[in-house]
Amino acid sequence: MSDCIVKTENLTKRFGDIAAVDSLNMEISRGQVFGFLGPNGSGKTTTIAMMLSLIRPTAGKVYMFGQELSPEALMRVGTVMDTGGFYPDLSGLDNLLIFGGLHQPVGRKRLAEVLETVSLADRAKTKFHTYSMGMKQRLAIALAMLGDPEFYIFDEPTNGMDPEGIADIRGLIIRLAEQGKTVFLASHLLAEVEQVCSHLAILKKGKVVRQGAMEELLFLHGRSEMELSVANPVKTVAILFDAGFDSRIEGDLVIVTAHEGQAEAIGVCLAAEGIYPRGMTRAKSTLESVFLQATES
Ligand SMILES: Nc1ncnc2c1ncn2[C@@H]1O[C@H](COP(=O)(O)OP(=O)(O)OP(=O)(O)O)[C@@H](O)[C@H]1O
């Protein structure tokens, strides 16, 4: 069984003069929760549309499950896009029966299972228009889950949702990952992506500007900062200031703007003043700073 779930090869889409997606090379492997980030207009929706065969690339290819994109491959994909297509005056259950049944017959047992998983079992028979935004989105996820796909594509699943709804969706994505499913998640919520994704790609003007494992990207491309654990943070900040280093106190730590190569110089200037750090490590970045650094023009 191929471990490559999706591979794009020089994938390109032009709309007139605009290269919405520009020679995009990206690879998503089995079991990854893959975040797909980029500023507005960077080409995320266009890429997803090509992955789903909704629009035709101008150039390049999408491979899915190791083969060129095909209707059979797409049957193994669960997509969670928007909730606008559901019938407002039908119940969640009836909507699932109708839309789920478009592709394959839906078993009652599976219906009950997915409704339970998305915590909608007790509201399954109420009309869709009475659902909260979070419930509507969970119904869309239930629909995607019906055929037990191995690959899920989520496009902005938490758009406009409150923190509780966002946490629910996060929990569902984590559960899918625990079941060994592969998840592709396009989102603007960097903190969410940071919490759930194992891998990511960042797009800028149709091109991938960062791609890889989350942990690696947070260390490689983040701010250059060192964390010092010291007995006297206030004195330490003053000494570092005199030595030309920017620093600040965060809890018990002093955070210095410096790269690893400057660790020795920091140690020497502190030791000269009688301060010996208990620990000095490279600070991990936030996804926000990685994103801003990658996408600033
Ligand atoms: N059908 C179209 N015709 C012309 N231009 C288009 C079309 N669809 C998208 N574009 C352009 O392609 C570029 C990429 O758009 P796309 O919607 O893929 O970006 P996005 O990253 O999904 O943005 P957002 O985060 O705002 O949803 C934009 O400049 C957009 O205006």
Residue ranges per domain, the chain?
4-219, 222-284
| Global pTM value | 0.82
Q: Would you say 36 and 190 are in contact if contact means Cβ atoms under 8 Å apart?
A: no
Which residue's CA is minimally distant from atom 12 of ligand 1? 20
Q: Would you say 143 and 81 are in contact if contact means Cβ atoms under 8 Å apart?
A: no
pLDDT top residue among 288 and 259: 288
34-55 b/e with 16+ CB inside 10 Å = b?
A: bbbbbbeebbbbbbbbbbbeeb
- Where does the pLDDT of residue 100 fall: very low under 50, low under 70, confident under 90, or very high at 90 and above? confident
Same fold, 4-219 and 222-284: no
Alpha-carbon Rg for the chain, nearest whole angstrom, is: 23
Which among 268, 241, 242, 272 has a CA at the least distance from the CA of 254?
Answer: 241
**Cα gap 139→92, rounded to integer Å:** 7
* Averaged pLDDT for residues 5-19: 95
Host H or E run for residue 166: helix 163-178
**Closest ligand 1 atom to the C-alpha of 16?**
4
Q: Would you say 141 and 118 are in contact if contact means Cβ atoms under 8 Å apart?
A: yes
The full length of the chain comes to 297
In one-letter notation, the amino acid at residue 158 is T
Cα of first residue to Cα of last residue in the chain, in angstroms, is: 41
Q: Would you say 281 and 225 are in contact if contact means Cβ atoms under 8 Å apart?
A: no
pLDDT at 2: 61
% the chain with pLDDT above 70? 96
φ and ψ of 35, to 5 deg: -85, 140
Which residue's CA is minimally distant from atom 30 of ligand 1? 41
- Where does the pLDDT of residue 81 fall: very low under 50, low under 70, confident under 90, or very high at 90 and above? confident
- In the chain, beta strands by DSSP E: 4-15, 18-29, 33-37, 59-64, 67-68, 77-80, 151-155, 182-186, 199-204, 207-213, 225-229, 247-250, 253-257, 279-282
> Domain 222-284 maps to which CATH number in 3.50.50.60, 3.30.70.980, 3.40.640.10, 3.30.1330.10?
3.30.70.980
Examine the pLDDT at 251 and tell me if it is beyond 70. yes
Give me 222's structure tokens. 């983040």
Distance 51 CA to ligand 1 centre (A): 15
* Averaged pLDDT for residues 54-76: 94
Give me 55's structure tokens. 């629009």
Distance 199 CA to ligand 1 centre (A): 23
- How is 116-154 classified by DSSP, letter by letter? HHTT-GGGTTSBGGGS-HHHHHHHHHHHHHTT--SEEEE
**Cα gap 90→7, rounded to integer Å:** 38
* Averaged pLDDT for residues 254-279: 89
Q: Are strands 67-68 and 18-29 parallel, antiparallel or unpaired?
A: unpaired
- Where does the pLDDT of residue 221 fall: very low under 50, low under 70, confident under 90, or very high at 90 and above? low
Q: What is the mean pLDDT of the chain?
A: 90
* Averaged pLDDT for residues 17-36: 95
pLDDT at 162: 84
* Averaged pLDDT for residues 109-138: 90
Spell out which residues line ligand 1, taking CB within 6 angstroms. 15, 18, 20, 38, 40-46
Examine the pLDDT at 20 and tell me if it is beyond 60. yes
pLDDT tens, residue by residue, 269-295 = 999 999 999 988 877 778 888 898 889
Instruction: Point out the least confidently predicted range of 100-109, 157-166, 187-196, 226-235.
Output: 100-109
pLDDT at 102: 64
* Averaged pLDDT for residues 100-122: 83
CATH node for 4-219: 3.40.50.300
**Cα gap 152→62, rounded to integer Å:** 16
pLDDT tens, residue by residue, 165-220 = 888 889 989 999 999 999 999 998 898 999 999 999 999 999 999 999 998 888 77
Ligand 1: residue of 45, 50, 159, 184 to mutate (most ligand atoms within 8 A of CB) is 45
**Cα gap 246→262, rounded to integer Å:** 13
**Cα gap 38→24, rounded to integer Å:** 13
Q: What ipTM did this prediction achieve?
A: 0.97
pLDDT at 222: 60
